Amino acid sequence: GQQLNQSPQSMFIQEGEDVSMNCTSSSIFNTWLWYKQDPGEGPVLLIALYKAGELTSNGRLTAQFGITRKDSFLNISASIPSDVGIYFCSYSGAGSYQLTFGKGTKLSVIP
Amino acid sequence: DAGITQSPRHKVTETGTPVTLRCHQTENHRYMYWYRQDPGHGLRLIHYSYGVKDTDKGEVSDGYSVSRSKTEDFLLTLESATSSQTSVYFCAISGTGKNYGYTFGSGTRLTVV
């Protein structure tokens, strides 16, 4: 089956630091989506990537769709306490609207 | 924004009892999904629906059944709850076309004792 590896599993950073996390897969995908889950809530879509090499920003967040179509990364610049949560990458294959999710990166921000 | 709501938000039930969780959407989206979230496993798909009365199994469907008798409602049933089904359950909806990212509900925390 398709393997999706998300790393790191968890991160503890100081407020103001930049953060980087990534996902890699064993297969080629058409779409990468990044979600954030606040404690006690459902995941919320942050950024969607639809073609290889695409680089997209949403405020302090930047995500890229890897050129090989097998990976994606998410960067957060100048972290703030409200960045705390679990970040999930997800992908869909050709002709499918069904998403598969990574296991998540749990981010903790120390004020 | 309450385009998708789950009920109940919390439930404690005894082993062996049937449990039904409800997902209701007001977006008229075609696709609906049930996921469970457990530490170390992320989000795993249980069942999904691609239309009224059209459903299919996901990665972890054993012990679960679903029904979708109308577009807006997707029910998840645990026929005989077990402790391994203690989890947080999320419903999600999605449309079609390019921008089909999921919208998730707020989750149901189910504890089977």
- Distant-in-sequence, close-in-space partners of B77: CB < 8 Å, separation ≥ 6: B18, B19, B20, B21, B64, B65, B66, B67
Helix (H) or strand (E) holding B19: strand B19-25
Confidence band, pLDDT 50/70/90 cuts, at residue B99: low
- Distant-in-sequence, close-in-space partners of A82: CB < 8 Å, separation ≥ 6: none
Closest chain B C-alpha to A15 CA, distance in angstroms: 25
HSE-CB at B31 with a 13 A cutoff on CA atoms is 19
Confidence band, pLDDT 50/70/90 cuts, at residue A31: confident
| Cα distance between residue A50 and residue A57, in whole Å | 13
- The average pLDDT across A64-91 equals 94
- Closest among A46, A40, A45, A38 to A81, alpha carbons compared: A38
pLDDT, residue A91, reads: 84
Measured between CA atoms, the residue of chain B closest to residue A32 is B101
pLDDT, residue B88, reads: 97
Closest chain B C-alpha to A23 CA, distance in angstroms: 13
CB A79 within 8 A of CB A17: yes
Inter-chain residue contact A101 with B42, CB threshold 8 Å = yes
| Cα distance between residue A23 and residue B47, in whole Å | 24
Q: What is the pLDDT of residues B23-70, one digit of tens each?
A: 999 999 999 999 999 988 889 999 999 999 999 999 899 999 999 999
Place of tokens 């302090």: A60
| Cα distance between residue A42 and residue B105, in whole Å | 6
Suggest the residue from B48, B102, B106, B108 to mutate for an interface test with chain A (most A CBs closer than 10 A). Answer: B102
B77: helix, strand or coil:
strand
Q: Which residues of chain B neighbour A30 with C-beta distances below 8 Å?
A: none
- Distant-in-sequence, close-in-space partners of A64: CB < 8 Å, separation ≥ 6: A49, A53, A54, A55, A56, A72, A73
Helix and strand totals (H; E) in chain A = 0, 11
The token pair at B65 is: 């059944």
* Portion of chain A with pLDDT greater than 70, in percent: 94
Q: What is the pLDDT of residues B59-94, one digit of tens each?
A: 899 999 999 999 999 999 999 999 999 999 999 998
| Cα distance between residue B3 and residue A87, in whole Å | 22
Inter-chain residue contact A42 with B104, CB threshold 8 Å = yes
- The average pLDDT across A59-77 equals 94
B111: helix, strand or coil:
strand
